[in-house]
Amino acid sequence: MLETNADYNSLKEFFIKNGLEYEDDEKVDDHIVCSWQIREGQKQSIIAGALLIKSKGEFILDGIAVSQSYRKNRKGSLLLGEVIKKVRQMGGRRMYLTAKVPDFFRKAGFETISFQDGPDYFDCLSCPQYGKKCRPEVMVLEVENENNS
């Protein structure tokens, strides 16, 4: 079941459990545009989630994850489609993200850019895991919508 405006704390726990780095002191609550989660099973556990924020005028997909056992079931594509639809509805021109799995996002039209060309939001370059366990790419999607097409 797809839910919109999911509880951020539950989503944050899910992201951490599925390999996304989140700092305890990270202040995204003030910037949240919308969040999504998909629940399935008897316990209605979160199996996928996404978080869209807006910082300094730019839309940023601040997290998207799918539980290992549900990958390849199009849950990530469903969530990404919802996020892009929201950015379009809000008149956004582009959306940024850092990707651990860039090929997934390339299939959706995202392009890799340098960290310097992205918004001043991503802390990857100062992370101790950068270049060791984690090699993310900053990516951007030019969004077409009725307001700017």
User: For the chain, what are the domain ranges?
Assistant: 2-142
Residues 6+ apart with CB under 8 A from 32: 8, 51, 52, 53
Give dist(CA 3, CA 123) in Å, integer: 29
CA distance 24 to 13: 11
Place domain 2-142 in its CATH homologous superfamily: Gcn5-related N-acetyltransferase (GNAT) (3.40.630.30)
pLDDT tens, residue order, the chain (149 aa): 888 887 788 888 898 888 876 665 555 666 889 999 999 888 888 999 999 999 889 999 988 999 998 888 899 999 999 999 999 999 999 999 988 789 999 999 999 998 777 776 655 555 545 455 555 788 999 997 655 44
CA distance 106 to 66: 17
